[in-house]
Structure 1
Amino acid sequence: MYSNKSFQRRQRQQVAESRSEEKFSRSLVRLNAQSLLDSSGNNTTTKNVNSDVVIVVMEGRGSCEGHIGIALHDTCFPEIHLCEFVDSREYTTLKTMINVHEAFDIVIQNGNEERGSTKLLGEALMTAFPEASLQSISSKYFNSERGERQLQSLMNAEVSTVSEGCLRRTLALGALAVLLKYIHETRCVFFRVKSLRIKEMGVNDTCMIDFVSWESLEIVDADDASKARKFQMKQKRTLMSVLNHTVTTNGYRLLRSSVLQPSTDVYLIQSRQEAIEELIGKPQLKDKLRRTLSRAHELDRVIAMCIQTSTSWTVRESEAKINQIIKLMHTLKVIQGIRTLLHSAKMKSNILIEKTEFLKDPRFDQIMNILVEKVDDSLLDGKKNSLHLQNTKCYAIRHFVAVQLDLARQTYEEIIRNVEETGAREIAEYFHGNSSVRLSFSQSRGFHYTFVTRQAESVTIPRYFLDVFRNRTTVTFNSRKVIAYNDRLEQVVAEMFLASDVIVCDMIEEMQPMIPVLYYAMDALSSIDFLCGLATYSDLRDTCKPTFGPSFSISQGRHPILDWDDSEKTITNDTCLTRDRRFGIITGPNMAGKSTYLKQTAQLAIMAQIGCFIPANYASLPIFNRIFSRMGHNDELIRNKSAFASEMSDAAAIVQYADKNSLVVLDELARSTSTEEGIAITYAICEKVLKLQSYTFLATHFLDIAALANYSNAIDNYHFLPQTDENSTKKHKLLRGQYRGPLYGFELVELSTIPDEVIEHAQSLATELRANVEDTERDYDSERRRIKVYMNHRFRECAEYFMDTHGEKWKEEKEAIDKMKALRKYLVDELAKIDSQEQMCQ
């Protein structure tokens, strides 16, 4: 009982809180659409299709200018992510993170628009995400001290990954304060004390890939991104769809985040490789794990139910809680099965041993004991019709647990019997016992009649019946008596759900100390599913386990998407970039395979860094921190950008942020401007990238660019031959050297309606221009230096390989001797070829 003063004080606090909430709602301003408030002053926030994920962004000012703090939460997922990082003026990292997490409900701070920083951020996000819900809120709500208090109050220390340094990240903490307030205002959700998992995201332990490159490199497309759950697609169009063999939603989510942001942690990558290799060696275990995982329900919604409290108490929420408790009990049985499978298999890989230990936690049995005492899941394995599904929830709580619930069940059973008797009587009276008429049940209509007939449009229904709906082969209708029973049944079911909800809430309270183990289970199941999916892909195709080192060397590599479509017809190509020869220029005619090869190299690098085996005979790759691409562009009318402006924007990001740990793929750079300007710009950008020491492939039609190899030993020239019958054995094969073949682009021109005299004149001009380029004096000394540097690296690479394989006595091995002889012969032949070409020119 409250005293008079304490009661008044509590009333004042409630009034103050309600005013604060009203002020917060009114402070929200939508930047890319109408105001959040309608004419009556009510909050009219509309949920975007993908707006279950909320992200709050706080931008630093003054001495912290350029720093970004974010707090991110998926309302269907029981955790919050915090991150603080330094970003470019184009907000490249922020845009990528928003796309990775599909966080399209965005809140930023509004402040002094004249300063320009907030306005610049808002415009950048509106341009990048025109369909997202973008809102701003007053800067006073970005209170880092309040965010720190809430973090320490809500965070479960056992499952959270928040370092001491995170408490000093004022931008991320300020964003957290607004995020929690925003979720409460718009979703009416609170979190229990010490129940929430808060994770600190890092940007240095993942490989950043610009989100524009996701589609241009065929990593993921809009169809993949829009699927909350994986489905096997008939046509594999992207890397994500090729690798997707997961059977759970969280497994798919882990795969997607790994593909879009590959790991740079060598230990994690190698641990995944060991697990995949072990699963490939035990195909029966892998198949059993996948079958067992497919029966598991997602624990994220179960945990969300356990850690969230709502201000409302409705029949719908009570039904959802009962449903989640049933799913939890079923998933705990699946966990027992997976734990038994992994334990009996005696796994050796560290990551699978770690996940097995998580699943052995005794708290799983404690939760199961709590559930078994009050929950009855015996109806789960019965029929799957609508009435049975409703009965599963109505009888989820055991008998004799709650008197009110048992009384409601008796009434429920009586109504069911009465409606069945009424149905049988009315069918016999009006349809003379016709077996095509039956009493049915659905969640939307309750009990009703269904008449199955091929003459649904013309069959006569007695006027006694109501709500007649005709479909192609069925007619549905109802009677007044059955409708009356449906109304009574709905009331009784609501009473049963509310009575069951009391028992469920008691069980949730009892399980609170054991909630962290459900986080471990969620992570373990998603990781096992992720690894089984990669092992399935690696086993279905001819793949190899990549190693990691300073060179980018792939033997007989295949494009993952083409290889999945038809492995027998897929052309294999080698890749060789080293620290000494890190820049490859690829020339050749149209449709020869230049762009496909660039996508292949990027996709293979991504696959290697997520721990997957790759389609090749041998592979050794560096660990890339960033992957840049500049592929084909068209005009962007919405953003008021021409094709040339778009590709220069991409090129600007490359020359500013690429480094020696970056992979850069450039396709026909500066093609949307004049030839002179295009060659000059391409030349200048290539020289800059050479200084950055990035691993680079450039595909171009500008043959003049190939002359760069005369001035740098770091450049190698490659080419593809035109697709003719004469070159049938070398179709789409990457060959060393500059392209010096005929001008086969004119074959495509001849297929058009351009007059013959125009084509002949163009051919004569092209031949003259080609002759001028070929007259350029070759630097034979540079070519000799390049081949010596290249072969020196090959000798060193082979020596290291044989030393690791055979030990100190590797020089005595016949395989090593033969390989070294072959390399020496290749060096001698190449030098002799250069000498003969020089003599012919003289």
Structure 2
Amino acid sequence: MNASNISSFVQTNLFERNTVTESNDSNSASSVQQTASELNLSRARLGSKPTAGINKPILPSKSGYSLASSAQRFSLAKTRSTPGNVSRFTATSRATAVQERILCTIFESTKDVNSTIGLCILNFSTGELILSEFIDSQIFIRTVHKIQIYEPTEILLPNTSFSPTYSKLATILKLNTPDSVKISEVTSKYFNKQNGQDAISKYSIDEETKKVNLLHVLDKNFALCALSATVYFVKEQIPKSTAKAMEFKSFRIRFENPENTMLIDSRTILGLELIESKIYKRNHLAFYKFLDETVTNDGSSLAQKHILQPLTSKKGLEHRLESVQFLMENSDFLKELRNEMETFEDLDKIFCHLLSVNHVAIEPEFKINYVLLLKSTLHTTKRIATTLQKANPSGMFLKEVGCILLNNKLSEIESAIDEKINKDCSWATSNIDQQNQRCYAVKKGTNGLLDISRQVYRNIVDEIVQNVKQLNDTHELSLDYKYERRRGFYLRLKRKDHSELPFLPSNFVNVILKKEFIECTTLDLLKANARLEEILREILIASEQVIDELLNEIMGNLSALFMMSEAVSLLDLLCCFAKKAMNLEYCLPKFSDIIYIKKGRHPILENLIKSFVPNDIISLQGSSSMQLITGCNRSGKSVYLRQVSLLCIMAQIGCPVPAESATFPIFNKLHARVCSDTMEIGSSNFSSEMKEMAYFLGALDSQTLLILDEVGRGSSIGDGLAISLAITEYLLSANCSVFVSTHFREIPALLRNKPSVSHFHMKTEVTRTASLKMHYKLTTDFEATSGNGIRLVGPLFGKKISETAMTIAKLLEKSGRYQRMAHLQKHKDPDTVAVNELEKDK
């Protein structure tokens, strides 16, 4: 399978295309510019002139406009602990001593009216270099989204973004990134598309990958410019203290197509708690924490990416579900695969160390351990491939994974290791074991000089052992010998066994008294250590030469290792979905142009609430594309809206869903504004809500899913009703799928005759004791009862307050406002009715 095929098979395309310039964002854009002006932005430099083309600009504080407040930002888990999978290699690698560093370079042109963005992300831990180019909105929703997903430690922008004034992009990035993220400028001359093309030619892993990448970026000038500045920064600006560990011979360069994933804006990610629960951070209430039952770090990372950016390829999703179904039907096979994958280390980070120049990311004393880890990984891979081959799976993805794991290049790597490394060579942890490993790991006959040096080394060690035995016999002691890398061989005896000994014989020198032991040496042992150190140096040089040749040989097949890593992560994710579906009785979704979910359940809450009440969800273009949901507080409206969003996401990552049956359309955008019914926690900011609403209303289309929970709830009754009705009326013409909850009973009354509107109500019953009984069931029967909110909060207040509130509510009900609106609605346009009634209220 060539590189282009595997890219289409296992890589996740992380961007969503927006080919329409949102003209309606002009007001939002002007407001951002106004915000920047109000903050009195002035460009400041560190020093009078740039040093090597880069400066750290001083940007405005975060007190102004923000797409997501700092309190609401989420954090993606970069590593995780897998039971029974303790990392042996990474703790010994020099690369891990460097703090994880992710560089993001963004190129924009102030002359470009389409807000085109070129993006380059470089992860120093994995050697992955991701390129993309896309047309963003006027307030850079997609760019902010990518920054929050990748969590860079430093962002580079061209100096034209800061001079003569700060650009909108620079301002928005500063207001939407943590204070710990550096935002630096690079002289614009380093953003050069030709240098970007040269970098791809120079740093690609192999010729095939280079050809594929050059083809992908053929007309992506902005992405190439961002790549050019990234390479310049890595070469010229990385501090000398970490330069060696971050010096790459090659990168895993990948261009990510902006067409095949759903866009979920950052506020939706926070509101739906896709990554982290806002309230119960210690509980597994966040969607990702609930769904993730992968057994590898790479699989867990892939699960995060898919949740934040679901797929939009119907064919790809159907193939994925076919594989999940096979795994569900073969539980023993599923268990065997997961048990094998559980032994894997973090494959991406392991293979990344081969990308460094002269393999400096691996300490010399651990290179053999590294090779053994590769060998162990390949053995596990072969066992998984054999298991897949025997099962003869029906799913195309499973078959492709099996083919990748049986790649001949992987067999070549294993053969090269077996050719040079002794089969009985094992993992070494202690100093003496590591030294013996480095001396004897390479097979006899591989290097003639090495064989001679080994024999001399063996003779000297035998001489030391014999010398210790003679000392024991001569002085009647129970001496033992130990080895340390710094001291070499030395003598040790237990103090309790020689408590009557007044002093050591005169030929023992360098005596060290410790609590339980006496450590010392002799002149003969010091001489032997000197000879041993000299011959050991020759052995290590010869061994390291052989190991470096082996690593260079493996480097020639590095693309196969990364393909294997991606295939394993996908297999782990599919197994995770299958296990979750089997344990919780999920169904396989189908794809059409409608939403039809029978007895759908909230994936998280159904496991926390006894007798969770399922609900049917139906949305048809032209007849019920807009659903209006009414009901009192805590009746289940917000849970229902979250449920719709989460089930759509699950379907578009290829995961079974909690329902009896389910059919979904393919959405390319998801915007959700949901609130919490938890009375003790949560508040709304009306101005912020309206700003966010304006940002995405202009970019809606037939493939957008829009979830709105109680629009206008933060304003007065009259203003809130007016705004809610106006927005709802506008959404009718947007031709998207909309779910809206509201407390304004006038809205469904005014819009119920619209052909694409359906009204549902969360059933609530008033008991004989005047309390509320929630049924949490969606129904078309609407009961216009007042005072439900008062009944809900009644136990929190005294009897007098509750009775007074109920009296006022009944008086308002008798004023006849609702009856007048219902009557006028039969004879007039709904908009006219709303205006007339609001004028009367004033």
The normalised TM-score by structure 1 is 0.74
1:614 matched to 2:662? The reply is no
CA distance in 1, matches of 2:185, 2:466: 57
Aligned residue in 1 for 2:421: 375
* Equivalent position amino acid for 1:582 in 2: S
For 1:181-192, list aligned pairs within 5 A. 181-185=232-236, 186=238, 187-188=243-244, 189-192=246-249
Deviates more, 1:347-356 or 1:105-114: 105-114
Alignment counterpart, residue 270 of structure 1, candidates 292, 309, 318:
318
SS at the partner of 1:720?
A: strand
Q: 1:262 to 1:141 in 2, by over 3 A?
A: same
- In the other structure, the counterpart of 2:224 is 173
Post-superposition shift, 1:658?
A: 2.0
Give the direction of change, closer, same or farther, for the CA distance of 1:366–1:440 in structure 2 (3 Å limit): closer
Q: 1:204: how far off?
A: 1.9
Amino acid at match of 1:106: I
* Alpha-carbon distance in 2 for matches of 1:449, 1:714: 88
Amino acid at match of 1:345: A
Residue 291 of structure 2 is aligned to residue 246 of structure 1: no
State the AA in 1 paired with 2:220. R
| Matching of residue 521 in structure 1 with residue 564 in structure 2 | yes
* Pair 343,134 (structure 1): closer, same or farther in 2 beyond 3 Å: same
Q: Secondary structure at the match of 1:733?
A: strand
Structure 1 stretch displaced more, 708-717 or 210-219: 708-717
Contact kept, 8 Å, 1:717 with 1:737, in 2: the verdict is no
The Cα RMSD (Å) is 4.5
- Give the 5 Å matches for 1:151-170: 151-155=200-204, 156-159=206-209, 161-162=212-213, 164=215, 166-170=217-221
Counterpart mapping for 1:674-823 below 5 A: 674-722=716-764, 731-738=775-782, 740-752=784-796, 754=797, 756-771=799-814, 772-776=816-820, 778=822
Separation in structure 2 between the aligned mates of residue 523 and residue 685 of structure 1, nearest angstrom? 44
Offset from partner CA, 1:269-299 (integer Å, 9 cap, x none): 0010000001111111111111111223343
Larger mean CA deviation between 106-115 and 586-595 belongs to 106-115
Match of 1:800 in 2: none
- Asked if the contact 2:431/2:483 (under 8 Å) is kept, the reply is no
Given that 1:220 and 1:238 are in contact with CA atoms closer than 8 Å, whether structure 2 keeps it comes out as yes
After TM superposition, give the deviation of residue 537 of structure 1 in Å.
0.9
Contact 1:720/1:739 (CA < 8 Å) preserved in 2?
no
C-alpha distance in structure 1 between counterparts of 2:748 and 2:490, whole Å: 77
Q: 1:415 to 1:511 in 2, by over 3 A?
A: same
Cα distance in 1, alignment partners of residues 538 and 159 from structure 2: 47
Residue 83 of structure 1: aligned partner: 132
Partner of 2:275: 220
1:137 corresponds in structure 2 to 186
Which residue is 2:400 aligned to? Answer: 354
> Superposition pairs for residues 430-449 of structure 1, below 5 Å?
none
Which residue of structure 1 aligns with residue 119 of structure 2? Answer: 70
Other structure's SS at 1:369 match? helix
1:623 match: secondary structure: coil
Q: Which residue matches 1:397?
A: 442
Partner of 2:690: 648
Distance 1:307 1:591 in 2: 55
Unaligned runs of 5+ in 2: 1-48, 61-95, 495-509, 678-682, 828-842
Is the contact between residue 100 and residue 124 of structure 2 (CA under 8 Å) also seen in structure 1? no
CA contact (8 A) 1:595 1:667 kept: yes
The corresponding residue for 1:203 is 258
Query: Quick check: 1:54–1:103 contact (8 Å CA) kept in 2?
Result: yes
Instruction: Give the corresponding residue for 1:530.
Output: 573
* Structure 1 SS opposite 2:407: coil
Query: 1:696-717 CA deviation, whole Å, 9 max, x = no partner?
Result: 1112222222224235222222
| One-letter amino acid of the structure 2 residue matched with residue 255 of structure 1 | A
What one-letter code is carried by the residue in structure 2 that aligns with 1:29?
N
Matched to 2:759, the amino acid is N
CA distance in 2, matches of 1:223, 1:170: 40
Q: What amino acid is aligned across from residue 180 of structure 1 in structure 2? A: V
Q: C-alpha distance in 1, partners of 2:259/2:153?
A: 24
Query: Which string of whole-angstrom CA distances, capped at 9 and with x for unpartnered residues, describes residues 679-701 of structure 1?
Result: 11111111122211221111222
| Letter of the structure 2 residue corresponding to residue 144 of structure 1 | K
Q: Give runs of aligned pairs for residues 100-111 of structure 1, distance below 5 A.
A: 100-111=149-160
What is the aligned partner in structure 1 of residue 53 from structure 2?
27
CA distance in 1 between counterparts of 2:766 and 2:458 reads 78
Question: How many Å separate the matches in 2 of 1:569 and 1:412?
Answer: 73
Distance 1:656 1:336, change over 3 A: same
Deviates most, 605-614 or 25-34: 25-34
Match of 1:92 in 2: 141
Q: Quick one: which amino acid aligns to residue 760 of structure 1?
A: E
Query: Aligned partners of 1:674, 1:448: CA distance in 2, in Å?
Result: 86
Aligned residue in 2 for 1:308:
356
Q: Does the C-alpha gap of structure 1 residues 759 and 618 become closer, same or farther in structure 2, counting only changes over 3 Å? A: same
Q: Deviations over 1:62-88 (max 9, x none)?
A: 245510001112222243211111111
> Are 1:333 and 2:379 an aligned pair?
yes
Q: Does 1:59 align with 2:108?
A: yes
**2:54, 2:459 → 1: CA distance?**
50
Q: 1: CA distance between counterparts of 2:817 and 2:160?
A: 58
Question: Number of paired residues?
Answer: 706
Counterpart-to-counterpart distance in 1, 2:232 and 2:187: 13
For the Cα contact (< 8 Å) 1:206–1:263, is it kept in 2? yes
**Secondary structure of the corresponding residue to residue 702 of structure 2:** coil
Matched ranges for 1:468-507 at <5 A: 499-507=542-550
1:128-166: CA deviations, max 9, x gaps?
112323221111111111111222333335346536362
Q: Which residue of 2 aligns with 1:814?
A: none
| TM-fit CA distance, 1:105 | 2.4
Q: Rate the CA distance shift 1:547–1:415 in 2: closer, same or farther, 3 A.
A: same
Aligned partners of 1:630 and 1:650 also within 8 Å: no
Partner Cα separation in structure 2 for residue 706 and residue 467 of structure 1: 89
Deviations 1:109-129 (A, max 9, x none): 11263554x532222112111
Structure 1 residue ranges without an equivalent (≥5)? 1-22, 35-46, 225-232, 452-463, 469-474, 635-640, 784-842
Report the AA paired with residue 384 of structure 2.
I
Change over 3 Å in CA distance of 1:478–1:340 after alignment to 2: farther
**1:413 to 1:70, Cα distance in 2 relative to 1, 3 A:** farther
Displacement, 1:633? 9.2
Larger deviation: 124-133 or 337-346?
124-133
Superposed displacement of residue 222, structure 1: 7.7
Tell which has more relative contact order, 1 or 2 (C-alpha 8 A, sep 6+): 2
Instruction: Please give the secondary structure, in 1, of the residue aligned with 2:228.
Output: helix
In 1, Cα distance between equivalents of 2:458 and 2:811: 92
* 1:472 alignment partner in structure 2: none
Q: Is the 8 A contact 1:80 1:197 kept in 2?
A: yes
Amino acid at match of 1:700: T
Return the letter of the residue paired with 1:318. P
Amino acid at match of 1:275: S
| 1:106-125 alignment runs, 5 A limit | 106-111=155-160, 113-114=162-163, 116=165, 118-125=166-173
Tell whether 2:389 aligns with 1:343: yes
TM-score, scaled to structure 2: 0.74
Aligned residue type for 1:122: A
Identity of aligned residues (%): 25
Instruction: Give the AA of the match of 2:755.
Output: N
